[in-house]
Amino acid sequence: MAMLDLDRYTKSRIEQTLSALMGLTIYSGIKTDPVLDELKAMLLAIVSAETGDKGRTGSPSESALLYDLTEKYTRIYTLLLQNTMSDIPDFGEYVLTLVQNDDNPFARTASGQSSGKETDGLAISPEMRLCVIHDLMRIGSIASLPSRVLTAVLAPVTSIPLPEWRHSSADQPPVTMYESLLTYHREKSFGVFSKYHAFIWKSNTLEPVERPDPIRLDQLFEYEYEINQVLENTRRLIGRRHADNLLLFGARGTGKSSAVKAVANTLTDQGLRLIEVDKDELLTIADLLAYLSELSGVGLSFILFLDDLSFAEDDTRYTILKTLLEGGVKTRPGHVAIYATSNRRHLVAEK
């Protein structure tokens, strides 16, 4: 393998960043992110080349290696551009966003704490707190990696300067980051639920809705009584009091779906999430309920939204829904309710 001649600072910074990436524990999930995965591959290649045997038979030339590393760098930069709103991507901000949206035991535990507790609430053990802070030290090292460290390595084969990123958001002390994350998870929840509030259950997977219907309650009028019933029931759901499953029925276009979506939009900040389930996905709804049951302690409540629902007499999917509503061996969790809309009061077609 070709050998790269790195100066002391460049070598130290690259090894420090690679060590930080490899050492993540609580936040090990962010290593699978495409940007960080590509970065890890590039750093490993540089370290291997720097410590390799120069001129070994079958090894690539130094120029070929540098061209390969250049391609890795441009892929990293392109991915950053695609995921940021700025013409000059901020690598530090990108990494910290990954940390905020990560699904891990600390994030879930913090999400289940009420804002009235002390910063180090009883649910966060001292061991977990220390482990998180150590990870945040590593993340600070990763997020503050200057792009010039990498472009300097590539300089021999890049006659035109490569674009460089910023890392302006990566200078927070680990303890400050820890406090910020606690507050963030209490207010926004964790993982995909911190970024989105509406989802579609499809092929046994929760798919986030990038641009949900922004309908608001103040845009609906002339059926305040019905809306207030939906709103009050949903507040009971959020408060972990007994909440009913609801059926909203009426003529097409009277605002049944809009009422459900408007209530969900109104109560998002109180931990409410809306999951639309198509009638064809009722066969896998038990899997969805099993997953949501695991989230009973994270401070979230869920509406399973079945829109425009109706069944033929011989439709077996109705049996699944009926068992769920009436309570089978597996009952719905207390933080989950089913809201359905239909153009007729009776879901099964009558003769």
pLDDT band at residue 114 using 50, 70 and 90 as cut-offs? low
pTM of the model: 0.82
Q: Give the residue ranges of DSSP H helices in the chain.
A: 8-22, 34-51, 62-82, 91-100, 105-111, 126-143, 147-154, 174-188, 191-195, 224-238, 256-266, 285-293, 316-326
Q: What is the mean pLDDT of residues 191-208?
A: 94
DSSP 283-313: GGHHHHHHHHHTTTTTT-EEEEEE-S--B-T
The CA-based dihedral angle spanning residues 81, 85, 90, 92, taken in that order and rounded to the nearest 10 degrees: -110
Mean pLDDT confidence for 184-196: 92
Determine the Cα angle at 169 with ends 81 and 8, to 5°: 90
Cβ atoms within 10 Å, residue 161: 9
Mean pLDDT of 102-112: 93
- Residue-level pLDDT at 156: 87
Residue 57 has pLDDT above 60, yes or no: no
Q: How confident is the model at residue 327 (pLDDT cuts 50, 70, 90)?
A: low
Report the amino acid identity of residue 260: V
Contact 185, 194 (CB under 8 A): yes
> Does residue 79 register a pLDDT over 70?
yes
Distances (CA, A) of 145 to 92, 93, 141, 167: 8, 12, 7, 7
pLDDT at residue 119 greater than cutoff 50:
no
- Confidence band (pLDDT; 50, 70, 90) for 223? confident
CB 59 within 8 A of CB 1: yes
Span 277-314, pLDDT tens digits: 988 888 888 889 889 999 988 989 999 999 888 666 66
Exposure string (b/e) for 225-261, b if CB count within 10 Å is 16 or more? ebbeebbebbbebbeeeebebbbbeeeeebbbbbbbb
- Reported as a pLDDT band with limits 50, 70 and 90, residue 80 is very high
Per-residue model confidence (pLDDT) at position 342: 84
Q: Provide the pLDDT confidence category of residue 6 given band limits of 50, 70 and 90.
A: confident
